Structure 1
Amino acid sequence: MVEANYWQYYLSLEEDIDRLFRYIEPSEHNFSAYSVELTRLYLAICSEIDVLLKAYCKLLDAGSFASKINEYAEVVVSSKKSLCSETVNLQRFGLSMTPFYEWEQRTTPVWWKKHNGVKHNRDVNFRDANLGNVLNSFAALYLLNLYYYHERSSIELRKQGFFEPLEATVVSLKSRLDLLKIDSVLLNVQER
């Protein structure tokens, strides 16, 4: 069986996002900008989020059959509530996003609702495939990758009586562009 390499797919999308910044400045003033390219990225990112959430839920609960966003939220929040409060920074541009904060209130993230609208009724919801939703979903994908790979490596370490901090996962996952950082890791690294 070939292992799904979610991080490699993330890196491919990261390159696409960085290329996009040559044409649209990542600024809150431009969050409502929409285009065919943003639609392509939005659908690809959210599709990968769906795939990764399913795999992550299986890691957290081997008996999980979660297949919808609310089912994913139930599994993830019951195990990893900290994901809801993680803030992701697009440092070069001074932007911060907390893509899963709605899960704390047991509601679906707005960027996911808008994605479903674009996916199922693109002709009506084309404008929702905008920069703001793309960046929030991209931040969500980044966090999910970190949490997925951290959990995967932690399973074996816990069996041996060890604990690996999230910072170690962040360091081990190499990004050529280093677009995103998470606050909790930045704070822990700066405190040392």
Structure 2
Amino acid sequence: MPPKSFSKIFWKQYLLLEKDFLETDEFVTIDKNNFKTFSSRYTYLLLNICSEIDSIAEEYCKVLGRKPKNIVAKVCAIVTKTPRIKNERAITKCPYEVIKPAPFQAFDDKVAAEWWRNYNLVKHARAEEPSDSIPNSQLANLKSVLWALAALYILCQNLYKLLGESDLQLEPSRLFES
């Protein structure tokens, strides 16, 4: 995939999702104290961001010549080729509180990270209310969405680098430092 196609297909979508997320800051400040805040807008964002993560992870794996079946296998394939992603952090920039999500740190070859598990519970079992924890609908919260967006940002940045040198300058993120 040429970098120009990447920009049109994946980076443009990232920027749209980031814009939608930043608009929520008008109502819920992007701050650690608000991590458990949930809303219908966060549900919308979590579902869309994670769907995009699955798409870009699929494309990333194609570039690597791999065809894993699920997100855990995709992340494992990506981390095997690009080990730094496992601990890579997407650092929020001013004017937002400095938050440093490392969204792939908790993935291993058998288990997905909490934010991805939350996405699956919201996607497949949103109406359920487990007796030992909060209702699944409340898992679409600020923290899950921020970690998912950080994961998408990290995948985009690393796939763009993997595609090779380009004179094309990507529009910068308004949320994360480059």
| TM tier, smaller | 0.7 to 0.9
8 Å CA contact retained: 1:84, 1:104: no
Distance 1:141 1:104 in 2: 18
Matched with 1:48 is: 52
1:29-67 per-position Cα deviation (integer Å, ceiling 9, x unaligned): 10000010000000000000000000001111x2x2213
CA contact 2:101–2:150 (8 Å) conserved in 1 = yes
Match of 2:174 among 170, 175, 178: 178
Correspondence 1:85 to 2:87: yes
Structure having the higher strand fraction is: 1
**What is the rounded CA distance, in whole Å, between the counterparts of 1:7 and 1:67 in structure 2?**
24
Task: State the match for 2:122 in structure 1.
Answer: 118
Q: Which of 162, 170, 176 is matched with 1:151 structurally?
A: 162
Q: What is the DSSP-based 3-state SS (H/G/I as helix, E as strand, rest coil) of the residue aligned with 1:180? A: coil
Letter of the 2:62 partner, please give it: K
| Higher RCO, 1 vs 2 (CA within 8 Å, ≥6 residues apart) | 2
Deviation (angstroms), 1:74: 2.3
AA of the residue aligned to 2:90: V
* Aligned residue runs from structure 1 range 26-65, under 5 A: 26-60=30-64, 62=65, 64-65=66-67
Which residue in 1 is equivalent to 2:146?
A: 135
Cα pair 2:76 2:108 within 8 Å, conserved: no
CA distance in 1, matches of 2:114, 2:76: 17
Question: Relative to total residues, which structure has the larger helix share, 1 or 2?
Answer: 1
Give yes or no for contact 1:77–1:103 (8 Å, CA) kept in 2.
Answer: no
Encode CA deviations 1:79-138: one digit per residue, 9 max, x unaligned: 111001111111222111111111367631110011000000111210000000000000
- TM-score, scaled relative to structure 2: 0.85
| C-alpha contact 2:90 2:177 (8 A) present in aligned 1 | yes
Taking the aligned partners of 1:81 and 1:29, their CA distance within structure 2 comes to 31
Percent of aligned positions with the same letter in both sequences? 29
- 2-structure distance, mates of 1:72, 1:108: 11
Q: 1:88, 1:98 within 8 Å by CA — same for their partners in 2?
A: yes
Contact 2:72–2:108 (CA<8 Å) still a contact in 1? no
Count of aligned positions:
163
For 2:69 and 2:125, locate their aligned partners in 1 and report how far apart those are by CA, in whole Å.
Answer: 21
Supply the RMSD in Å over aligned alpha carbons. Answer: 2.0
- Structure 2 counterpart of 1:21, which letter? D
Q: In 1, are the aligned partners of 2:72 and 2:109 still within 8 Å (CA)?
A: no
SS in 1 for 2:148: helix
* Deviation >6 Å, runs of 4+: none
Cα distance change, pair 85–106 in 1 and its aligned pair in 2 (3 A): farther
